[in-house]
Structure 1
Amino acid sequence: MNQAQPEAPRNPRTDPETAPVTRWSAVVLGGGDPGDAFAAAHGVNVKPLIPIHGQPMALYVLKALRASGQVSRIAYVGPTTPAIDALVDTRVTDHGTLLSNLEAGVEALGQTGLHPNERVLVVTADIPMLSATQVTDVLQNAPRDAGLVYPVVRREDCQAAYPGVKRTYATVRDGTFTGGNLFILDPALIGQFLPKLRELLDARKAPLKMAGIIGGGILFDFITRRLTVQKLEDKVSQLLNVPARAMITSHAAIGTDVDKDADLQLAEQHLTPRA
């Protein structure tokens, strides 16, 4: 009689039966330049408060997060309205820059306690076409082994969803992509990557300085279209000192922010007026 073989030990990181349940919180970035001409032209101080069918565009983002059933807490950074206040757990004053607002939002969540398995979804408040289904899909399919996950959208998916939409794209060997307006991070690692991320953003208008940080090999591969998503992930992980992953998603709304009148008209066409 054959003896039963001992059962192989389960890997708690990869086995769905033993893997710890991920908890999700969100930081919604609703700040902006008080002198923004686009916002002023629509009678508000900051862009996320521009109305679409009578509601601030930020409200559509918050409703998508809540309706997904995935996000337990929301910290909102920036000016609010009573309708926005009703959907957020923590209000945070605008600190003036994207990274400062990100840091302040995560810190605000941390003051009320962060679970060891908690991850934070960071979303800009100017992607009103985001849906609850898309939020759920991104969170359920996001890599669990990364400290930073950044969704990207293929150009063909953007153009199929919104014909004629104008976005900024980058071409690598794997395809042509636009960046998403949300990302996922492990809040325990934020102190490791924020300083380097600030350095990269400070150098974005100084090509030689940026080349020195990124490295000539990566730039050459990009120019010659030999750069791959995998190689870019490895380089970003090295630069930021955290495991970083790109996540290719077909959800064009994630890569379609509203920053001009044409975008606003697009959102009005695709969103249903509500009472």
Structure 2
Amino acid sequence: MSTALVLAGNRGGVDPVAAYAGVTDKALIEIGGRTMLARVVAALRAAGMTRILVSTASEPVRAHASDLGAEPIAAGPGPSASARIAFVEAGAPLLVTTGDHPLLRAEWVDAFLRDVPPGTDVAALLARRTSIERDAPPTRRTYLRFADGDWSGCNLFLLATPKAVAALDLWERVERDRKRPWRIVLRLGVPLLVRYARGRLPLAEGLARIGARVGARAALVECASGLAAIDVDKPADLDLVRRLIA
């Protein structure tokens, strides 16, 4: 595959991390002399991505993406809608990441794409809590607690086949209902969530069952490096990443 999407939009209003860094957009924050977006694009290019789409509604980010040799593309009202626009434009397979992932490395991308199981429609890269605390002990992440350990996402996804649109549909519904969690529960299935709440659901099984519910084969790939789970969601994350890169 050779096409990647970088989600570099915002949810409206002033982004606290951008304000903390004194720039208009989070993707334009400089770390070690390069913007976060430049670092992400460089990692994708080193991993063999020949077409790199950057989803944004910001004119400064659009201009910067063009300067980097990437292709600006319209953003939707949220991440799922933005991914859908790009998926319609580029088709499958499409690698998806975010513009606030400045530690992204080509070798993580290579390993992810290599290790996605055959026949998968949609896949996600995750790291175990033990790996994250080993490689970046000061960080605080949000963890998914499964029977086989605690996991955190690495902001790297593969929409491998046209059936991956079903995962975008689910993602969009979850975003829409995030203030009405009972609707999410009904969509994902109460028995599945009961097993999760009791700590009896392995992560791989959970993803597979959710995928089957929406009509797509979903899989996870484990990243050996805990640094892959470090993105920049808050000022403390930016301080940490700057220290790590320095």
Normalised TM-score (structure 2): 0.90
Per-residue CA deviation, residues 152-204 of structure 1 (Å, 9 max, x unaligned), is 11001001111121000121111111122110012522443333332222223
Q: Tell me: higher relative CO, structure 1 or 2? Use CA pairs within 8 A at least 6 residues apart.
A: 2
Matched residue, 1:19: none
What CA distance in whole angstroms lies between the structure 2 residues aligned with 1:38 and 1:230?
33
> Which segment drifts farther, 242-251 or 194-203?
194-203
SS at structure 2 position matched to 1:253: helix
1:97 aligns with 2:78: yes
SS of residue paired to 2:104:
coil
How far apart are 1:268 and its partner, in Å? 1.0
Counterparts in 2 of 1:196 and 1:135: CA distance versus 1, 3 Å: closer
Superposition deviation, residue 239 in structure 1: 2.8
Please tell me whether residue 43 in structure 1 is matched to residue 22 in structure 2: yes
Instruction: Give 1:188's aligned residue.
Output: 162
Q: Distance in 2 between matches of 1:263 and 1:209?
A: 32
| Secondary structure class of the residue paired with 1:100 | helix
1:261 corresponds to 2:235: yes
Q: CA deviation at 1:28?
A: 0.5
Cα offset, 1:82, TM superposition: 5.2
Instruction: Give how far 1:34 is off.
Output: 4.4
Among residues 69, 77, 82, which one is paired with 2:55 in the alignment? Answer: 77
Contact 2:4 2:95 in 1 (8 A): yes
Q: Distance in 2 between matches of 1:86 and 1:252?
A: 31
**In structure 2, what is the equivalent of residue 3 of structure 1?**
none
8 Å Cα contact 2:116-2:220 kept in structure 1: no
Question: Is 2:194 the counterpart of 1:216?
Answer: no
Partner of 1:161: 135
User: Structure 1 segments of 4 or more deviating over 3 A?
Assistant: 81-84, 86-89, 190-193
**Which residue, 34, 51, 60 being the options, matches 1:55?**
34
Greater mean deviation of Cα atoms: 172-181 or 198-207: 198-207
Whether 1:121 and 2:100 are equivalent positions in the alignment is no
Q: Is the 8 A contact 2:142 2:152 kept in 1?
A: yes
For residues 24-82 of structure 1, what are the alpha-carbon distances to aligned partners after superposition, in whole Å with 9 as ceiling and x for unaligned? 310011111342132123222221112212322111111111112x2121111113265
| Length, aligned pairs only | 242
Is 1:200 matched with 2:174? yes
Aligned residues with identical type, % of pairs: 26
Which position in structure 2 is the counterpart of 1:176? 150
Aligned to 1:5: none
| Structure 1 residues not aligned, in runs of 5+ | 1-22, 111-117
Alpha-carbon separation, structure 2, partners of 1:62 and 1:26: 9
Counterpart of 1:231, as a letter, is E
Specify the code of the residue in structure 2 equivalent to 1:54. Answer: G
Runs of 5+ unmatched residues, structure 2? none
Provide the rounded CA distance (Å) in 1 between the counterparts of 2:161 and 2:63.
Answer: 28
Q: Separation in 1 of the partners of 2:112 and 2:39?
A: 17
Q: CA RMSD in A?
A: 1.9
1:25·1:71 contact (CA, 8 Å) conserved in 2?
Answer: yes
Determine if contact 1:47/1:126 at 8 Å carries over to the other structure: yes
